[in-house]
């Protein structure tokens, strides 16, 4: 027996297809939520929320502090996802953008009243003095369900053992991002990207690194017109994958302009030429979420649309395999 760990890097899924029908009985299937990963740490007195890169985001989500009262006196560490829902009740990463990048408690409270967030629990890593990491998923799920987490801003979504095709069809009909298949015999391995968890996406959507921008024209004159995107190579340079110029609100364009202003550099971070002489280059540190129809044979995104920045990911995560190259 031991106390809960101070930090946990979440277990990660591998991108891939749905397990074949003969194997689906070994898996359970969960809806893939369009939010940010967040591990809840409860010490019996206060809740702390950490992203997958161990960033403390507790202050940004004051409505989630009461999760602790639902957990009672025993310490606990749980894995889940912070989401914000749109008017249709569908998780929206764009809505969640309003809640990110907030460090001031008063601002966080104002935004929580306008765009409430919800934390969705899907795994338990520690309860009381007992670690549950080595337990198979089936036993961890039983522990999670025994906690009966259901409140105004948190919930335990259902899981569907053996029902991969039906769960994927339900995700498609609800306009969700996809499903995650989890082998029911698998333990929880912090920080590992495991083939026991498979994320099955319904849309072409990935993360890319911002390597610069193109100046705006017309109504965007004096602002960012499009972000230049790339994927990290082993030599730390970026492979250019195109530019995204749609999907931005005016407020988001302004915020990106402020955030990237201090990163401007005379050197291109891209391994090859960028097809615009007026490109402004930046130090490649910002990761963004982009939806697109397909990739060309040269790897360029077709019809990309910006969805938001990822405060929970870095270029190193993409280099480690978070994003497919084709």
Catalytic residues, which ones? 32
How, if at all, do strands 224-232 and 238-244 pair?
antiparallel
Round to whole Å and give the CA distance between 115 and 249: 16
Q: Specify the pairing of strand 12-15 against strand 193-201.
A: parallel
d(CA 194, CA 96): 27
Q: How far is it, in rounded angstroms, from Cα 101 to Cα 231? A: 24
- The two structure tokens encoding residue 281: 């280059």
Provide the phi-psi class of 198: left if phi over 0, else alpha when psi is between -120 and 50, else beta: beta
Q: What kind and span of H or E run contains 40?
A: strand 36-42
Residues in the chain: 326
Measured CA angle at 101 (ends 171, 200), to 5 deg? 20
CB atoms within 10 A of CB 285: 14
Q: Where are the beta strands (DSSP E) in 152-300?
A: 154-155, 160-161, 178-183, 193-201, 205-215, 224-232, 238-244, 280-281, 287-291, 294-295
| Cβ contacts of 172 within 8 Å, gap of 6 or more | 202
Residue 163 CA to chain centroid, in angstroms?
Answer: 24
Tally of CB atoms within 10 A around 42: 23
């Amino acid at each position: 027996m031991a106390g809960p760990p101070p930090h946990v890097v979440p277990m990660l899924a591998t991108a891939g297809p749905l397990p074949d029908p003969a194997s689906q009985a070994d898996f359970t299937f969960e809806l893939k939520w369009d939010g940010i990963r967040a591990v809840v740490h409860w010490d019996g007195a206060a809740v702390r929320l950490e992203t997958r890169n161990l960033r403390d985001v507790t202050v940004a989500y004051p409505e989630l502090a009461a999760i602790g009262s639902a957990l009672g006196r025993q310490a606990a560490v749980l894995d889940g996802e912070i989401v914000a829902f749109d008017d249709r009740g569908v998780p929206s990463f764009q809505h969640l953008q309003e809640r990110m990048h907030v460090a001031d408690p008063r601002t966080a409270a104002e935004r929580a009243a306008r765009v409430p967030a919800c934390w969705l629990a899907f795994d338990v890593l520690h309860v009381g003095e007992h670690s549950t990491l080595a337990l198979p998923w089936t036993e961890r799920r039983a522990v999670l369900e025994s906690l009966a987490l259901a409140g105004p801003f948190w919930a335990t979504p259902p899981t569907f053992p053996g029902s991969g095709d039906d769960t994927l069809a339900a995700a498609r009909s609800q306009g969700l991002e996809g499903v995650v298949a989890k082998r029911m015999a698998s333990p929880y391995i912090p920080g590992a990207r495991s083939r026991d968890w498979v994320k099955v996406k319904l849309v072409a959507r990935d993360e890319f690194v911002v390597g610069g921008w193109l100046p705006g024209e017309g109504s965007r004159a004096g602002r960012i017109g499009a972000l230049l995107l790339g994927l990290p190579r082993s030599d730390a340079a970026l492979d250019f994958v195109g530019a995204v110029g749609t999907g931005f609100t005016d407020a988001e364009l302004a915020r990106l302009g402020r955030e990237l202003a201090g990163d401007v550099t005379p050197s291109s971070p891209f391994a090859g030429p960028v097809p615009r002489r007026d490109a402004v280059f930046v130090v490649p540190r910002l990761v963004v979420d982009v939806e697109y129809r397909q990739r060309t044979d040269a790897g360029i995104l077709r019809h990309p649309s910006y969805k938001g920045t990822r405060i929970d990911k870095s270029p190193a995560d993409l280099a480690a395999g978070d994003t497919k190259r084709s």
